[in-house]
Amino acid sequence: MAFQPSKQVYSGRIREVTLGHGDNTITIGGRTCYPFHTFEGEAPRLPRVAMEVWDKDPSEDWSEAAKAPFVGVLSDSAAWARKCVAEYGAEAIVIQTKSADPNSDNRPAAEIAEVVKRVVEAVDVPVVIWGVANHDKDVEVMRLISEQCVGQHLALSPVEEGDYKQIGAACLGYKHTVVASSPIDVNLAKQLNILLSNLGVNAQDIIIDPTTGGLGYGLEYTYSVMERIMQAALTQEDEKLQQPIIVNVGNEVWKSKEANLSADEAPELGDPETRGILMESVAAVDLLLAGADLVVLRHPESVKRIKKFIETMT
């Protein structure tokens, strides 16, 4: 007799959320089972892989290994985004608005919005805007971007409890998607989704950001919370947690000390490029197994590996 694995019975379903507009859309979610458990249920939508682009030249902050694939375009966000899509196969672009940070460049919202608009017009894939988690500045920047990119159906992140009314209202008014961000806590994730629902945001326009911990820097906490979200959504029919999940992996992994140490500084850690790619890839695989639907990466080699992993698992 052939081996018959025991099967979990699921009563819930992860909602489908569509990003982008016109022919330039992707849809994530839709699972009726745990990640990659297609022997137990349906998974009509594969996880998607996005790449990050900064709104400023990150050369001072990035290691040589991270900069190498983007030589010549790091000072031009639109060209950088085009390269990610055309050469490296990015299925979505995440614009990190690093220059908005009041503790750093504190760039005016109008200048940031202009950069974002150029990127959105340069690529034919959905775009996610990632703020700096400063409520006042994010509200100012996201409102202006929402208005200037009306009709593009962007995703705005992070929308937190401290600014959900203002950014949520902008998403409602200009028809964008909300990325609801909570600090690695299942109850806070649920509460924020309830608040957004009460504000009038449709469930088909909400993605969960559980807050990503990098490998060695809290990854296990993110994994655990995502597991609990999946369990509540699929086996406990918790409708407020039945949203697809995005994880901002590249930004978290590559800012760690270990990913940036040179071979001279840490010869025992091996080749710096291989090390960073493996750290990013391992973190992404872990979070895909926990339930991620959209993974944001930095290095094109990580993108290649993660796409191969998704293909193999499905």
Domain presence at residue 2: no
Domain presence at residue 54: yes
Domain range holding 283? 17-313
Domain presence at residue 153: yes
Domain presence at residue 278: yes
Maximum CA extent, the chain: 68
Number of domains in the chain: 1
Domain presence at residue 10: no
- Tens-level pLDDT at each residue, the chain (314 residues): 688 778 888 999 999 999 999 989 999 999 999 999 999 999 999 999 999 999 999 999 999 999 999 999 999 999 999 999 999 999 999 999 999 999 999 999 999 999 999 999 999 999 999 999 999 999 999 999 999 999 999 999 999 999 999 999 999 999 999 999 999 999 999 999 999 999 999 999 999 999 999 998 999 999 999 999 999 999 998 999 999 999 999 999 999 999 998 889 999 999 999 999 999 999 999 999 999 999 999 999 999 999 999 999 98
Domain presence at residue 123: yes
pTM, 2 dp: 0.96
Q: Residues 28, 179, 215, 55: is their CA dihedral positive or negative? A: positive
Determine how many CB atoms are found less than 10 A away from the CB of residue 7.
11
Q: What is the CATH number of the domain that holds 233?
A: 3.20.20.20
| CA pair distance 230, 221, nearest whole angstrom | 14
At a CB cut-off of 8 Å and minimum separation 6, what does 180 contact?
A: 159, 164, 189, 192, 193, 196, 206, 207, 208, 209, 243
Write out 47-70 in H/E/C secondary structure: CEEEEEEECCCCCCCCCHHHHHHH
| CA pair distance 221, 212, nearest whole angstrom | 9
Domain presence at residue 144: yes
Domain presence at residue 258: yes
